[in-house]
Structure 1
Amino acid sequence: MTDDGMVEKEKHMKQLKRKMECWREIILPLNSILLWEHSWHPGLIVGIVTVIFCTIWTLEPALLTMISVCLLVFALVDYLVPILTSVLCNAQSWTGQKEKKLIEICQNLSTTILQLRSAWTSISKIRHDRPNIYYSATILFLILFAWIGNTVNNLLLLYIIVIVVLLLPGFRHKGRARWAVKYVYDHLIHRHLS
């Protein structure tokens, strides 16, 4: 990586850390859960997501109601968490070890955000440089997604996507993502090619 890239990465990480300052007491336990620091964390993630989706499935709210409730919850959390953490958490309880962990989390998150930006830039470049390939791939994927969305229940699809997104950091951290890809390659693709 070039020096400009390193400077941009460091600058982005510091901005992210500044924005997350009032959330630091919440971020550390959430990171612990997402990275499966205890063996019961994947079960906790799947359990909470399942309860939320079963509630949505049972209540069958209208789309506008569901969007409004989600935005209301996000607004309340955004408003109440900084207030509650400043009241409940003592400033002296924040240690150098916790600060180091927060910096590591911010670096990882910043790297992920910059990778997503880079991917978006690459897609935009392909759109500009090779429009035929871009539009062909876009149309193919959208037709595939439309077919999947028409075939499978949308709430089930959303449930699966949320579970995968929330479990992915733990899979990557534990090295199980590489194991799964290697297993699929060895048993499905390699066997099929032989």
Structure 2
Amino acid sequence: MSNPTSTPPKSLETCLQGWRCILVQAYPVFTWDKPYYPYILSAIVAIVFLIIWLSNATILTTFSIIGLIITVADYVIPMISTHYLEPRFWKDSDEEQYKKIVSQISQGSQTISSFFNYLKDLKSSNSKIFFPILFVSLSLSAWIGNLVNNLFLTFLMINSIVLLPGLRHHGYIEKAHEQTRGVLSKVFGQKKKDVNSSFTPKRMSDTELAQPESLETCLSNWRCVLVQAYPVITWDKPFYPYILSALVALIFLVIWLSNATIMTTFSIIGLILTIADYVVPIISTHYLEPRFWQDSDEEKYKKIVSQISQGSQTISSFFTYLKDLKSSNSKIFFPILFVSLCLSAWIGNLVNNLFLTFLMVNFIVLLPGLRLHGYIDRAHEQIQGIFAKIFGQKKKD
């Protein structure tokens, strides 16, 4: 594969080509060319969230409807822009403006990517700082999520994101950054320059991006646990799938009985994963491996890593296929996506969303066993047979 950083502006420029006229026209609004523009943006976000609140729709239905709106917009707007807006409103000077917008979007994407790379580096280089920070952040998130209405918190977050280009354009972000550095310099007794270098995420170089850490290395601290758990997940005993389903059901029963908000629930799950990611490698390295690890387990571990990698590649290939289908045959892609989202919205309003999540998680947990015992292949054959009858084709085709 080519280096992802070598041509990001060009690829992004191509992806947004159908939206370029809209982006150029909307840019002055998002960067607050007029003093009343931020109030208009906040009012629009408030109206959208007011409609969501009044509709009292479930989460799955809400996201499906938002997906439907985005799908319709992504199909209709490029056609309107190409055939109506650009011939009437596009100027030669707008090309430079469009490239500037693409560059700023690319910079924002790189900043987010750099922040996550910084967290990843901090975890590997200084876990004694990373884990307490993450633990406190998730604890605070769980407390706030249980204290404040989650829809209102979402509104504040989306409103901040919508106003962010204007805040950045008018220098408010830089001012806040300077003040934060000043506070940190007082707390840690460092010069502003030292604080900035310590707490500012660093962008990864081309070499670092070209040589990502292997999956085998990432999971090395969990290898003993993975090898011990593998027979259970792949159903070496006939009662293992029932045990797995019972564990998933017990977790969801606790979530249901706790009646916690979504933000609190995800924060608590994050806390449990954070503690496990800190404690399990220590226990595995100092207790489990000296007692249970054998030379034959190395091959089992490599097999597990290979299967996880294959699963990841399958998911990646599926999304790549959808992306290619959208660009090569949009008349098939959009109807399929539209019908899928309509069905999702209908089911989400009909069936309890927590129960749907339980079914999905339970299926994911049982998937390795279903695949190893051939159930997935049989289902695939049956689906192929159905499509062959519908489209009048041979299974091979």
TM-score (norm 2): 0.41
Aligned residue identity for 1:164: F
Alpha-carbon separation, structure 2, partners of 1:106 and 1:75: 21
Identity %: 26
Alpha-carbon shift at residue 42 of structure 1 (Å):
0.7
Name 2:311's counterpart in structure 1: 112
CA distance in 1, matches of 2:233, 2:292: 23
Distance 1:141 1:43 in 2: 31
Structure 1: distance between partners of 2:321 and 2:380: 24
Cα contact 2:224–2:284 (8 A) shared by 1: yes
* 2:263 paired with 1:59: no
The alpha-carbon deviation at position 179 of structure 1 amounts to 4.8
Deviates more, 1:129-138 or 1:148-157: 129-138
1:142 match: 341
Q: Deviation of residue 182 (structure 1)?
A: 6.5
Structure 1 unmatched runs, 5+: 1-11
Higher helix share goes to which structure? 1
What residue in structure 1 maps to residue 294 of structure 2?
95
- Larger relative contact order (CA 8 Å, sep ≥ 6): 1
Which moves more between the two structures, 16-25 or 109-118? 109-118
Q: Aligned partners of 1:185, 1:117: CA distance in 2, in Å? A: 22
1:168, distance to aligned residue in structure 2 (A): 1.8
Per-residue CA distance 1:2-42 (angstroms, 9 max, x = gap): xxxxxxxxxx9x91111111100111122211100112211
Asked if 1 retains the 8 angstrom alpha-carbon contact of 2:215 and 2:305, the reply is: yes
Q: Distance in 1 between matches of 2:383 and 2:323?
A: 31
Whether the aligned pair in 1 keeps the contact of 2:224 and 2:288 (CA below 8 Å) is yes
- Report deviation, 1:47: 1.0
- SS of the residue corresponding to residue 89 of structure 1 reads helix
The amino acid that maps onto 1:18 is: T
User: Is 2:234 aligned against 1:35?
Assistant: yes
Q: Partners in 1 of 2:310 and 2:293 — Cα distance?
A: 25
- Deviation, 1:45, is 0.3
Larger radius of gyration: 2
* Structure 1 length-normalised TM: 0.81
Q: Which amino acid aligns with 1:112?
A: G
Q: Kindly provide the CA deviation profile for residues 108-131 of structure 1, in whole angstroms up to 9, marking residues without a partner as x.
A: 111121122122111111111222
Aligned mate of 1:123, from 322, 337, 350 = 322
1:76 aligns with 2:262: no
The residue type paired with residue 372 of structure 2 is H
Q: Which whole-Å CA distance do the structure 2 matches of 1:90 and 1:155 have between them?
A: 38
Distance in 1 separating the partners of 2:329 and 2:253: 44
Distance 1:181 1:127 in 2: 23
**Paired residues of 2:224 and 2:289 also in contact (CA < 8 A):** no
In structure 1, distance between residues paired with 2:327 and 2:382: 37
2:350 corresponds to: 151
Residue identity matched to 2:248: V
CA RMSD of aligned residues (A): 2.6
Deviation at 1:180, TM superposition (A): 5.6
1:140–1:90 Cα change, 3 Å = closer
Deviation, 1:178, is: 4.1
Segments of structure 2 that go 5 or more residues without pairing to the other structure are: 1-210, 390-397
Q: What is the deviation of 1:90?
A: 3.8
Letter of the structure 1 residue corresponding to residue 301 of structure 2: L
Equivalent-residue separation in structure 2 for 1:19 and 1:38 (angstroms) = 29
Tell me the equivalent position of 2:366: 167
Looking at structure 1, the residues matched to 306 and 289 of structure 2 have their Cα atoms a distance apart, in angstroms, of 25
Match of 1:7 in 2: none
What's 2:62 paired with? none
Write the distance in 2 (CA, Å) between the matches of 1:93 and 1:159. Answer: 33
1:48 to 247, 250, 270: 247
Structure 1 residues 129, 178: CA separation in 2 closer, same or farther (over 3 Å shift)? closer
Secondary structure at the aligned position of 1:95 is classed as coil
Following the alignment from structure 1 to structure 2, what is the Cα–Cα distance between the partners of residues 52 and 94?
A: 30
Could you tell me how far apart the structure 2 residues matched to 1:149 and 1:93 are? 46
